[in-house]
Structure 1
């Protein structure tokens, strides 16, 4: 589950990275085909790059082994009580599954709607295209090699313009781009950036089709008139390339825009340093390994076992009985446990243990008092002559790994009891910087009552007088629309300058934060290995440590959500 959340966070971050690069650097350029591949590569990279992880091994000095002494020193021990907690991971997964199923259902309904339009219709094959003339009032669209239109709604010249446009969509397989963007919207439905990303893909496809179609059409102005006429037909099929995309003004602007200079291609390469930084910051896994030492090698070579039986304040009567039975069965040692007393919390406060082995003297461990006992252990080691030696183990020597006279120690747990040796303090994660906020310049006031209305094209396109009047009205309309453009352009420039300054400040803070996070990751990896090695992956301390790591990931996700809100706010300010 943790790995899934990390993947989603990384993938969403890459989507944001590519979208910002397109929005601020490329969307106003006329490199439409290059933009198409840039956007598609962004989608593929966002799901592929998080799986590419480089493992870096950092060699550290071995952890000193604790001394082993036979003494009566004890350490307090406690076991946390289980309590009911909500598994937010499962809650998040359930919410995601509900959204995923809802958007999958919508996707399936769109296919059903498309099938309903095409079902039973007469198909006319011409070259590589399949033309379908329908009677429904639906905007013309293409779906792979199918081109669907209603010929009764357009004149012959208008229909020719529309078909040239749709042939470009079909010939360049733009339907694949549409389907890929829809699939990503289903998978990442919770990320608002993916919806903006999809909109950018569809908009760029229309720019490509307009650009290629006008190369084959002699009357470029008539093509623009056709765009204006199609604005009245808003009904369309969702998963297709359709002639109308609610961006007529932008399409006309891009049709009349001068070709971008080739040196502007440098903008595509700006994404490379960002991807390299992403790899260095998030895709390098640092693993700390201890250097081999002579002492460690000697311990490995010697295989005589040493068994340790732990006793602490939570050891039950049944546990004590099992310890006595195992010592008798494995080492023929007679163990008598008596004077067992407990407090109101059922914690062991007093105990007497008498150990007798064959002809050896009896060893006695006796603890009395009102407080819970500290941790101790019974150790059985094999001597060089093959005999067994039984003694009392100190609290410092109970935890793994330890060695006695170059022998391995094999610690036996009774019912998975967990020790209470205080672990080292985990590293503290650095504080994540906050994106600078502040007031934005007020949007220029626009009196909607003064907004000009587009003239209506005459029904009879061959009526020269009517067409002359229409052309005059259209010229007046364009002139009036141009009057609104300077204010909006100046406002957009102000917003972009403010956001650029804030991004520069934020980038500096993020650079410092990234360095701190790199050090924190290395420290955390070393700490994790120590805790897992010392306490075991099933211990409370290890679980607590992993909980801290998950908390850090939730903080990162919260940061990503804030970034998305900032992006939406910036987009809203521009539109207003």
Structure 2
């Protein structure tokens, strides 16, 4: 169960990483189609990348204490019973998680039912790859795969043409798949607010794509923007569809009039790659410990390599957690003494007000008279760790103190006479630099008061009513005149926004120039690291070859 929670946490973190990269770097660029694939690849990567594991081999002596990730072998765990609070807390979290997912799935099913109810019984007009459905309900136009649903009585010929061109783009480019995919992620990761913002970003970007592509086929750009404003009178829409109006009219109009982004800004997409690399090196490292043993041949001792994944006969683990009681510590002491003839002592035990362990010293005395010591102390509760007893094939036993802390930086503690402590750290891989953040800050305030924007007149339901239609056309003419007063303010606002963004881009480009220099140094360090790793592998293969030749020579004698 813990592994599932960790996977969900890692996936949520990756989704957050992609969203922040989109929000600060790509949101205001006009690379709408590229942004679409960036957002979709973010969802797919967040699901798959937690399964990618980087394997690191650590060579240890059999008499050393190794702080690494758990040994990958069959482990006979002698557990310390979990507290009543931990057991019931995990159960409550699982019930809460599943319950909310169930409710969201029911809402998802209801949305499908609502869509089916709108289309059911209506006349479907097939044209090319599209299925047009003209309904009588006062509902915003929308598309769902190749279905395009609208109420033709609410619009004149020009407006209806603009709407259909927009919805055709949604259908042709299969935008419904993006919407459904984003909805599924919201259901699975409902607890992460970034996921809901991610879904909103996907749907907004789809509207930008449809607007930009539709304008390539529509001659009157101004009429298209008026159509956007007219659709704002329709508040009803189907949740799981691409509907023409999505409460972002101002953003869509700004994007329609925005200058095309410079192609050189495509480099922003590559900035996510070092962050993904850092994620793998920091959280996806699997450490495999391999032991060096000594074999005596003709009176000469030689080191041989033994892989602890296959060499141990049995492995026993005695866990110590933050809520382990003094009584449970005493039980571990007795079991190690009885089962393995190992003397272990827990001292300097410190607890906080919640009776959680915040400090402890562990002294292990082995049968050969040598000792191992681990001590930790602080204000926070300790991380779980364990005493590992490895029973080897030859009948001997190896004792390790093992914790999951900093598995990307393995730490070994030397073994010597009583009370001897020796610490060395092994940091093999270079740490990638963090890319600069795009400058943020307040944006210019638009002179356009959207609350004062005139509302378009309501189209008569009965198009054959000449008096009503004449009145409607007159009101529409007045509406167009009032809307023209907003255009100068919108143009001035766009210039102010472009000026602010130009200054921020200049600052960001300077920071990126510095970052690229640091990245070159990082790449050089990585190349050296790769060369060292290849040399290390070559040495291992050479050693194995020599050992095989040595064994063959001994057999022939």
- Could you state the TM-score of these two structures normalised by the residue count of structure 2? 0.60
Going from structure 1 to structure 2, the CA distance change for 1:294 and 1:136 (only over 3 Å counts) comes to same
SS of equivalent residue, structure 2 residue 86: coil
Going from structure 1 to structure 2, the CA distance change for 1:442 and 1:246 (only over 3 Å counts) comes to closer
Alpha-carbon distance in 1 for matches of 2:262, 2:180: 32
Going from structure 1 to structure 2, the CA distance change for 1:231 and 1:97 (only over 3 Å counts) comes to same
Aligned to 2:487: 478
Matches within 5 A, 1:198-217: 198-217=199-218
Deviation at 1:457, TM superposition (A): 5.1
Aligned to 1:51: 51
Alpha-carbon distance in 1 for matches of 2:217, 2:122: 29
Alpha-carbon distance in 1 for matches of 2:83, 2:422: 24
RMSD, aligned CA: 5.1
- Is the contact made by 1:178 and 1:239 (CA closer than 8 Å) also made in structure 2? yes
Aligned to 1:257: 258
Alpha-carbon distance in 2 for matches of 1:111, 1:22: 30
265-274 vs 456-465, greater mean Cα deviation: 456-465
SS of equivalent residue, structure 1 residue 147: strand
Aligned to 1:245: 246
Deviation at 1:84, TM superposition (A): 3.2
Deviation at 1:448, TM superposition (A): 11
- Deviation track 1:271-299 (CA, whole Å, cap 9, x = no partner) reads 11211222222222122221232169899
- Is the contact made by 1:441 and 1:495 (CA closer than 8 Å) also made in structure 2? no
Aligned to 2:395: 408
Alpha-carbon distance in 2 for matches of 1:465, 1:85: 71
Deviation at 1:215, TM superposition (A): 1.0
SS of equivalent residue, structure 2 residue 84: coil
Deviation at 1:447, TM superposition (A): 11
Deviation at 1:454, TM superposition (A): 2.8
Deviation at 1:62, TM superposition (A): 2.2
Going from structure 1 to structure 2, the CA distance change for 1:195 and 1:490 (only over 3 Å counts) comes to farther
1:25 aligns with 2:25: yes
Alpha-carbon distance in 2 for matches of 1:271, 1:446: 32
Matches within 5 A, 1:493-512: none
Going from structure 1 to structure 2, the CA distance change for 1:492 and 1:267 (only over 3 Å counts) comes to closer
- Is the contact made by 1:59 and 1:288 (CA closer than 8 Å) also made in structure 2? yes
- Structure 1, gaps ≥5 residues long: 66-78, 306-312, 324-374, 377-392, 412-420, 429-439, 502-507, 509-576
Aligned to 2:190: 189
Aligned to 1:266: 267
Deviation at 1:86, TM superposition (A): 2.8
1:133 aligns with 2:120: no
- Is the contact made by 1:452 and 1:480 (CA closer than 8 Å) also made in structure 2? no
Alpha-carbon distance in 2 for matches of 1:60, 1:236: 64
Matches within 5 A, 1:400-479: 408=395, 451-456=451-456, 469-479=478-488
Deviation at 1:426, TM superposition (A): 12
Alpha-carbon distance in 1 for matches of 2:502, 2:127: 48
- Is the contact made by 1:15 and 1:193 (CA closer than 8 Å) also made in structure 2? yes
Matches within 5 A, 1:64-463: 84-87=84-87, 88-294=89-295, 408=395, 451-456=451-456
Alpha-carbon distance in 1 for matches of 2:26, 2:480: 33
SS of equivalent residue, structure 1 residue 216: coil
Going from structure 1 to structure 2, the CA distance change for 1:174 and 1:407 (only over 3 Å counts) comes to closer
SS of equivalent residue, structure 1 residue 21: helix
- Is the contact made by 1:147 and 1:167 (CA closer than 8 Å) also made in structure 2? yes
Deviation at 1:259, TM superposition (A): 1.7
Alpha-carbon distance in 1 for matches of 2:90, 2:215: 53
- Is the contact made by 1:174 and 1:205 (CA closer than 8 Å) also made in structure 2? yes
Going from structure 1 to structure 2, the CA distance change for 1:452 and 1:56 (only over 3 Å counts) comes to same
- Structure 2, gaps ≥5 residues long: 66-78, 297-302, 308-312, 314-328, 340-363, 372-387, 399-417, 426-439, 460-468, 511-517, 519-557
- Is the contact made by 1:141 and 1:243 (CA closer than 8 Å) also made in structure 2? yes
- Deviation track 1:133-188 (CA, whole Å, cap 9, x = no partner) reads 11111101011111111111111111111111111111111111111010111111
Deviation at 1:408, TM superposition (A): 2.2
- Deviation track 1:304-349 (CA, whole Å, cap 9, x = no partner) reads x9xxxxxxx999xxx9xx99xxxxxxxxxxxxxxxxxxxxxxxxxx
Aligned to 1:559: none
- Is the contact made by 1:441 and 1:491 (CA closer than 8 Å) also made in structure 2? no
Going from structure 1 to structure 2, the CA distance change for 1:441 and 1:14 (only over 3 Å counts) comes to closer
Going from structure 1 to structure 2, the CA distance change for 1:294 and 1:488 (only over 3 Å counts) comes to same
SS of equivalent residue, structure 1 residue 137: coil
- Is the contact made by 2:444 and 2:493 (CA closer than 8 Å) also made in structure 1? no
Going from structure 1 to structure 2, the CA distance change for 1:173 and 1:394 (only over 3 Å counts) comes to closer
Aligned to 2:551: none
- Is the contact made by 2:115 and 2:238 (CA closer than 8 Å) also made in structure 1? yes
Alpha-carbon distance in 2 for matches of 1:246, 1:126: 30
Deviation at 1:103, TM superposition (A): 0.9
Alpha-carbon distance in 2 for matches of 1:147, 1:449: 33
Aligned to 2:42: 42
Alpha-carbon distance in 1 for matches of 2:146, 2:244: 15
SS of equivalent residue, structure 1 residue 124: strand
- Deviation track 1:38-58 (CA, whole Å, cap 9, x = no partner) reads 110010000001101121111
Q: Which has the larger radius of gyration?
A: 1
Going from structure 1 to structure 2, the CA distance change for 1:83 and 1:125 (only over 3 Å counts) comes to closer
Going from structure 1 to structure 2, the CA distance change for 1:145 and 1:427 (only over 3 Å counts) comes to farther
Alpha-carbon distance in 2 for matches of 1:63, 1:41: 47
SS of equivalent residue, structure 1 residue 294: strand
SS of equivalent residue, structure 2 residue 454: coil
- Is the contact made by 1:230 and 1:244 (CA closer than 8 Å) also made in structure 2? yes
Structure 1 consecutive aligned stretches of length 4 or more whose deviation exceeds 4 Å: 79-83, 295-300, 393-397, 399-403, 424-428, 440-451, 457-468, 480-501
- Could you state the TM-score of these two structures normalised by the residue count of structure 1? 0.58
